Amino acid sequence: LSMNEKFYYYIGTDYSLETIEKNKKKFNSIPNVTFMHSDDIDDLQTSSADLCFLIETIEHMSDEHLQRTLDNIFRLLKVGGKLVITTPNNEDLRLSMVFCPECGAEFHKMQHVRTWERENLKYYLTSRNYTVINIEETWFVDGNNIALNAVRRIMLRVRTKPSHLFAVFQRG
């Protein structure tokens, strides 16, 4: 590599072995990309990452997995490294509960186990030594999907808060 070229390495992690295998097959032609089980990231070098993403993830995590994930990301980030998080904003989990007639279980149709708002996300991350760079309430839009954007415009009229949080935190 010349002095002007940057070398990037991408690591995707998940707690699901099935998801890891699917992603390995889907992205096998992209150089410098690997996937591993979230429990195996202890083997990665401390302070080796510039940027980590948790995209539509933290609302699915149990307390144990969330704490472990955030602690591991903090360990992996270089000083000044960034963590980008997106998550539904102020989601009423009850509205998306479904019932399984076979086993009798009630669960969220997208397997969300928690809801986040700006303040509790800020508190949770700062209590783990992250610094808040920015937390925005936002509506994600798809510039190419006219029907989806029309539905989102209707939602803007009936929902008081934007549907998602987009947050950037930093390791100090």
At residue 83 the predicted structure's pLDDT band, cuts being 50, 70 and 90, is very high
Of 56, 105, 48, 103, the C-alpha closest to 77 is: 48
Banded model confidence at residue 47, pLDDT cuts 50, 70, 90 = very high
The pLDDT assigned to 3 comes to 42
Asked whether 70 and 85 are in contact (CB, 8 A), the reply is no
pLDDT at 65 over 60: yes
Q: Is 59 exposed, middle or buried (0-12, 13-18, 19+ CB in 10 A)?
A: buried
For the chain, what is the mean pLDDT?
A: 88
Long-range contacts of residues 111-115, Cβ cutoff 8 Å, at least 24 apart = 111/60, 112/59, 112/60, 112/88, 113/59, 113/60, 113/61, 113/62, 114/58, 114/59, 114/61, 115/59, 115/88, 115/90, 115/91
d(CA 34, CA 11): 5
Say what the pTM is. Answer: 0.83
For position 148, what pLDDT does the model report? 66
Higher-pLDDT residue of 143 and 64 is 64
> How far is it, in rounded angstroms, from Cα 102 to Cα 139?
36
Using 50, 70 and 90 to split pLDDT, how confident is the model at 131? very high
